[in-house]
Chain A
Amino acid sequence: MLEIEIDGKKLTVPQGSTIMDAAHSVGTYIPHFCYHKKLSIAANCRMCLVEVEKAPKPLPACATPVTDGMRVHTHSDLAVKAQQGVMEFLLINHPLDCPICDQGGECQLQDIAVGYGGGSSRYQEEKRSVPGKDMGPLVSAEEMSRCIHCTRCVRFTEEIGGFQEIGMANRGEFSEILPFLGKTVDSEISGNVIDLCPVGALTSKPFRYSARSWELSRRKSVAPHDGLGSNLIVQVYNHKVMRVLPLENEAINECWLSDRDRFSYEALNSDARLTRPMIKHDGKWHETDWQTALDYVVKGLTGVSAQHGKDAIGVLAGAGATTEELYLLQKLARAFGVNNIDHRLRQRDFAADEGQTGALWLGSTIAEMASANAVLVVGSTQRHEQPLLAARLRQAVKKGAELNLIHVADDELLTRVNAKLIVAPQALADGLAQVLKAVAELKGASANLDLSGVTVYDEARRIAESLVRAETASVVLGSVAQHSPVFSQLLAIGGEIARLSGAHFGVFSEAANSVGAQFVGALPRRGFAGAAVTAGLNAAEMIAAPRKAYVLWGVEPEADCHDGQAAVAAMKAAETVIAFTAFKGDGLLDYADVLLPTAPFTETAGSFVNMEGKLQTFNGVVRPLGETRPGWKVLRVLGNLLSLQGFEQNTVEDVRAEFVGPFGDGAAKLSNAVSGVALDKPAVTGLVRVGEVPMYHVDAIVRRAPSLQATVHAKAPVASANPAVLAAAGLADGELAVVRQGACEVRVPVKADAGLPEGVLRLAAAHPATVGLGGLFDPIELKRG
Chain B
Amino acid sequence: MLSAESLAKIDREVAKYPADQKRSATMSALRIAQQEKGWLATETIEFVANYLGIPPVAAYEVATFYNMYDLKPVGKHKLTVCTNLPCALSGGYDAADYLKQKLGIDFGETSADGRFTLVEGECMGACGDAPVMLLNNHSMCSFMTREAIDKKLAELE
Contacts and interface: CB of A to CB of B under 8 A. Distances in A.
- Does B associate with A? yes
A167 B60 contact: yes
B57 A165 contact: yes
Interface stretch (A174-182, A388-396, A641-649): A174-182
Contact of A179 (B42, B46, B57, B65): B57
A168 B60 CA distance: 9
B36 to A, nearest CB: 21
B147 interface: no
A168 B61 contact: yes
Interface string A161-197: 0011111111100000011111100000000000000
B64 interface: yes
Nearest to B63: A169
A165 B64 contact: no
Given A180-B46, A181-B42, A182-B42, A170 B65 contact: yes
Nearest to A181: B42
A237 B56 CA distance: 41
Given A180-B46, A181-B42, A182-B42, A167 B65 contact: no
A180 B55 contact: yes
Contacts of B60: 167, 169, 180-181
B2 interface: no
Given A181-B42, A182-B42, A164 B58 contact: yes
Interface in A130-145: none
Contact of B61 (A163, A165, A169): A169
Contacts of B56: 180, 183
B20 to A, nearest CB: 9
B57 A170 contact: no
Interface residues of A, number: 16
A169 to B, nearest CB: 4
Nearest to A176: B64
Which of B42, B46, B57, B64: most chain A Cβ within 10 A?
B57
A158 B55 CA distance: 9
A167 B42 contact: no
B115 to A, nearest CB: 28
Contacts of B64: 169-171
Contacts of B42: 181-182
A167 B60 CA distance: 8
Interface residues of B, number: 10
A166 B57 contact: yes
Contacts of A165: 55, 57
Interface in B47-91: 55-58, 60-61, 64-65
A183 B45 CA distance: 14
Contacts of B58: 164, 167
A180 B47 CA distance: 13
Nearest to A171: B65
Nearest to B56: A180
Given A169-B60, A181-B60, A164 B65 contact: no
Contacts of A170: 64-65
Nearest to B41: A181
Given A180-B60, A182-B42, A163 B65 contact: no
A169 B67 CA distance: 12
Contacts of A179: 57
A767 to B, nearest CB: 28
Contacts of B65: 169-171
A15 B86 CA distance: 47
Nearest to A163: B55
B45 to A, nearest CB: 8
A167 B42 CA distance: 14
A447 to B, nearest CB: 37
Most buried by B among A163, A168, A180: A180
Interface string A521-541: 000000000000000000000
A178 B60 CA distance: 10
Nearest to A170: B64
Contacts of A168: 61
Contacts of B55: 158, 163-165, 167, 180
A165 B55 CA distance: 7
Interface string A422-444: 00000000000000000000000
A537 B65 CA distance: 65
B55 to A, nearest CB: 4
A53 B147 CA distance: 58
B31 to A, nearest CB: 18
A164 B57 CA distance: 7
Nearest to B49: A180
A678 to B, nearest CB: 44
Nearest to A174: B64
A160 to B, nearest CB: 14
A414 to B, nearest CB: 10
Nearest to B57: A167
A170 B63 CA distance: 8
Nearest to A179: B57
A166 B56 CA distance: 10
B119 to A, nearest CB: 15
A178 B58 CA distance: 11
Nearest to B55: A164
Interface in B27-46: 42, 46
A168 B58 CA distance: 8
B84 to A, nearest CB: 14
Contacts of A163: 55
A164 B54 CA distance: 9
A163 B64 CA distance: 20
Given A169-B65, A178-B57, A183-B56, 13 more contacts: A167-B57, A167-B58, A167-B60, A168-B61, A169-B60, A169-B61, A179-B57, A180-B46, A180-B55, A180-B56, A180-B60, A181-B60, A182-B42
Interface of B: 42, 46, 55-58, 60-61, 64-65
12 contacts: A164-B55, A164-B57, A165-B55, A167-B55, A167-B57, A168-B61, A169-B60, A169-B64, A170-B64, A180-B55, A180-B57, A181-B42
Interface of A: 158, 163-171, 178-183
Nearest 4 pairs of A and B residues by beta carbon: A167-B57, A164-B55, A180-B57, A169-B64
